[in-house]
């Protein structure tokens, strides 16, 4: 994976205006891109696109922000404190509809999508000398279920609870990706759950220093999770995705969506969508997960309406936008 350099991640350096944009020079605006932790894929993808914006979109710069990921990112978009954000599809949909973990909270109806970028894959990771060989073996164990406010936390809860494993059945640790890898390496937890685009740096680093085991889900476990969370889909993680993991892993995939506030200027939304697809090769050079960025994936996987500026781009290139994606 190419390592991005010189990414500014300090939120304190960004003075935000409407919908996450601020004047940084006489006629220049900085766009805030809410991503996730540095050990995942959101941050390099967001940082890569921020660099692409700065090089190609006249009058704009962009900054990749470290955040707690999906749930926090939805709040930032809702408040207008970020221009762009990467969010798991189930989190975006639940927030938009006021369902799941967002039940009883204000619906984020002002969410619009530019594209679905790549699928996250649920990784349940332990060490080979552990007695954890199946999902049910997590009961009674110390398990990292993801950082507070992350899509991993939402996905982990859906996967476990749909298969009869409650928070009371495990010693849940709410750690980010790097913390989870470190805790596994040091023996402070027994297993960790990641919902992330593969391969991810935190698991790669762990696998380089310790042997790891990825748990495969049974057909029945996957079916129960999909019934509980329809944006899940079965996914086979190829053999040798991580060092020492020689067999394919049967698990779940969830789309990641690039979202903006509905109030974002239509021309800017159009230019951002166009840039995303036209500079795809540059994004792939940052992280291979961007290989999945296609118009077809966006039309099939996006769970919330597209921004009118994005629709304008897709219609301009001859794509058929389904009615469910029109605001």
Start-to-end CA distance of the chain, whole Å, equals 37
Cβ-contact 82, 20 below 8 angstroms: yes
Quick one: which of 185, 158, 156 has its CA closest to 172? 156
For 121-254, CATH number? Answer: 3.40.190.10
For residue 23, pLDDT beyond 90: no
| pTM for the model | 0.76
Q: Give the tens place of pLDDT for each residue, 188-225.
A: 999 999 999 899 999 999 999 999 999 999 999 999 99
- With a CB cutoff of 8 Å and minimum separation 6, the contacts of 105 are 98
Please provide the average confidence, as pLDDT, over all residues in the chain: 90
What whole-number distance in Å separates Cα of residue 183 and Cα of residue 179? 6
CATH, domain 11-117+257-325, list 3.40.1000.10, 3.20.20.150, 3.90.1150.10, 3.40.190.10: 3.40.190.10
Q: Rounded mean pLDDT of 217-235? A: 92
How would you classify the pairing of strands 249-261 and 84-88? Answer: antiparallel
* Same fold flag, 11-117+257-325 and 121-254: yes
pLDDT tens, position by position, 98-152: 887 677 766 678 899 999 999 989 999 999 999 999 999 999 999 999 999 888 9
Cα separation of 239 and 202, whole Å? 18
- 237-288 pLDDT, tens per residue? 999 999 999 999 999 999 999 999 999 999 999 999 999 999 999 999 999 9
- Residue ranges of domains in the chain: 11-117+257-325, 121-254
**How is residue 116 written in tokens?**
């679905």
Q: Which two tokens stand for residue 305?
A: 């309406």
Cβ atoms of 70 and 154 within 8 Å: the answer is: yes
């Amino acid at each position: 994976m190419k390592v991005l350099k010189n990414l500014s991640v300090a939120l304190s350096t960004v003075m935000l205006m409407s919908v996450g944009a601020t004047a940084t020079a006489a006629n220049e605006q900085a766009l805030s891109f809410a991503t996730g932790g540095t050990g995942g894929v959101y941050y390099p993808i967001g940082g890569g696109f921020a660099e692409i914006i700065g090089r190609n979109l006249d009058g704009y710069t962009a900054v990749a922000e470290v955040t707690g990921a999906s749930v926090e990112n939805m709040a930032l978009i809702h408040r207008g404190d970020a221009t762009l954000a990467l969010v798991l599809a189930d989190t975006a949909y639940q927030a938009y509809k006021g369902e799941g973990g967002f039940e009883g909270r204000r619906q984020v109806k002002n969410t619009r999508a530019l594209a679905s970028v790549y699928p996250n894959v649920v990784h349940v990771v332990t060490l080979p000398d552990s007695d954890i060989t199946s999902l049910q073996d997590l009961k009674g164990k110390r398990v990292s279920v993801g950082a507070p406010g992350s899509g991993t936390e939402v996905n982990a809860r859906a996967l476990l609870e749909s298969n009869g494993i409650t928070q009371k059945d495990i010693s849940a640790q709410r750690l980010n990706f790097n913390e989870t890898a470190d805790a596994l390496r040091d023996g402070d937890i027994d297993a960790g759950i990641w919902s992330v685009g593969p391969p991810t740096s935190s698991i790669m680093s762990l696998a380089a220093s310790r042997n790891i085991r990825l748990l495969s889900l049974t057909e029945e476990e996957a079916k129960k999770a999909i019934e509980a969370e329809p944006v899940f889909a079965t996914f086979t993680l190829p053999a040798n995705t991580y060092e020492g993991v020689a067999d394919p892993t049967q698990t779940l995939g969830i789309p990641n969506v690039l979202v903006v506030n509905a109030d974002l200027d239509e021309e800017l939304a159009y230019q951002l969508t166009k840039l995303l697809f036209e500079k795809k090769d540059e994004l792939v050079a940052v992280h291979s997960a961007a290989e999945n960025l296609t118009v077809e994936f966006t039309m099939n996987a996006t769970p919330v309406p597209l921004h009118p500026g994005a629709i304008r781009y897709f219609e301009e290139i001859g794509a058929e936008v389904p009615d469910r994606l029109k605001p």
